[in-house]
Amino acid sequence: MQGSIQKRVGKTGKVAWTCVVDARPDPVTGKRRQLRLSADTKRELEGLVAAHLHDRRTGAFVARDNQTIRAYLARWIEHYSPPKESTWIAREAVVRRHLIPALGTIRLGDLGTMEIDALYRSKVAAGVSPAHVRSMHATLRMALAQAVRWRLIVRNPAEDADPPPIPRTKPVVWSETDAARFFATTRDHQAWPLCVILATCQLRVSEALALHWSDIDWDRAVLRVERTLTKTKQRAVVEGAPKSEAGRRAVALPLLALAALREQRARQQARQVVTGWVFDRGDGERLHAETFRAQLERAMQDAGVPRLTPHGLRHTGATALARAGVSPKTLAARLGHSSVTTTFDLYAHALVDDQRDAAEAFAARLDRTA
């Protein structure tokens, strides 16, 4: 404790007893901030000081902090340093677009679970997807957990909040008929080789666009995923580590994928442009994701197939493998999932459909023998 109990007499003659006690250093600036306790009587103040010292000894003391959620989140996001800068970009966008506009004027110490739940309900009512609201929840819970560690609040009100559940939906994929029509009618299209790799090797777009020719083992017919494209805080697109350790993997190349890669290499050789990228934009520079998206849109229109996102090509291939009887464990390794649970959640519908067909066939045989 710093200072001693002092008696003060105001201009009106009112007597007050005060004492200055030490507070913890500011977690960001390192400056020491002091807490002044006051009471109408000396005995009452002695009780407050004793309670304060007890809280300090037991770890229950939290310095009073009048900063707003806006000020705190601005400090937290600058302090936040995840392994991947793309994660920081996503968290910063949630803070800037959603959390600060909705909660910014509330004092950090006054934020409660009720206000957080109200935010989630309002976002859902405004048409924000449950998945995006849960992303807000994850960011807010992480930020407030840091406030607890910094001794700015006693407990994390987001821990008891109730974000909306994410409804389980099937990935949007092509039927085998639509897929066959697309790849048969777009053979000469600029986007054809990349579309084949995404569908038959089940790569993420960011993984495919980061491929170098040195990643292709022609003798073993294997493609190695060693890197992915990611964004920096300055919004620049650079090479980075895969999404998880499981993302660094070897992928067996089917014959169609080998043919697509040979076609891509022949196109580059015909242009006489030397490049290390497997998929370039025509001048040796790496192909941009938005450029490919536009190419895919034109190819789908030419083929007359249902619209699909670039990531839908990966889902189409993975669903076909699941229906062909590939085990979830093998499929997870091919997709670069760190957990088989993720794979099963995404493609359980395909496995259930196969179970239904098998069950019907078995029941039909029983019916004929009855």
Please give the pLDDT value at position 348: 73
Structural domains counted in the chain: 3
Close Cβ partners of 69 (under 8 Å, ≥ 6 residues apart): 99, 100, 103, 104, 105, 106, 107, 108, 111
pLDDT number for residue 238 = 82
Helix (H/G/I), strand (E/B), else coil: 16: strand
- CATH number of the domain enclosing 338: 1.10.443.10
Same domain, 107 and 255: no
Q: Are residues 74 and 92 in contact, defined by beta-carbon separation less than 8 angstroms?
A: no
**Is 64 within the bounds of a domain?**
no
Give the tens place of pLDDT for each residue, 32-67.
666 677 888 888 888 877 877 766 666 555 555 578
Q: Are residues 40 and 103 in the same domain?
A: no
Q: How many CB atoms lie within 10 A of CB 210?
A: 25
Whether 133 is in a domain gets the answer: yes
Q: Is residue 370 part of a domain?
A: no
Show the low-confidence residues of the chain (pLDDT under 70): 1-3, 22-35, 54-65, 349-363, 365, 367-370
DSSP string of 215-283? Answer: GEETTTTEEEE--EEEE-TT--EEEE--SSGGGSEEEEPPHHHHHHHHHHHHHHHHHT---SBSSB-SS
State the residue range of the domain holding 45: 6-58
Q: How far apart are CA 95 and CA 103, in angstroms?
A: 10
Please indicate, yes or no, if residue 1 is contained in any of the structural domains.
Answer: no
Q: Are residues 102 and 212 in the same domain?
A: no
Q: Are residues 113 and 258 in the same domain?
A: no
Q: Which pLDDT score is estimated for 250?
A: 94
**Domain holding 156: CATH number?**
1.10.150.130
- Note the residue count of the chain: 370
At 1 the pLDDT is 47
**Listed residues 126, 160, 194: the one ending a domain:** 160
For residue 203, the model assigns a pLDDT of 95
Residue 368 resides in a domain:
no
Distance CA 19, CA 42 (A): 10
**Is 166 part of a structural domain of the chain?**
no
- Is 292 found in the same domain as 332? yes
Same domain flag for 187 and 303: yes
Please answer whether residues 239 and 227 qualify as being in contact, where contact means their C-beta atoms are separated by less than 8 angstroms. Answer: yes
Q: What is the pLDDT of residue 55?
A: 67
pLDDT at site 334 = 93
Of the candidates 116, 135, 160, which is a domain's last residue?
A: 160
Question: Quick check: is 171 in a domain?
Answer: no
Please indicate, yes or no, whether residues 226 and 350 belong to a single structural domain of this protein.
Answer: yes
Residue 366 counted as domain residue: no
Contact between 103 and 148 under an 8 Å Cβ cutoff? The reply is: no
* Same domain (yes/no): 200, 309: yes
104 plus 241 within the same structural domain: no
Residues 216 and 141 in one domain: no
pTM for the model stands at 0.68
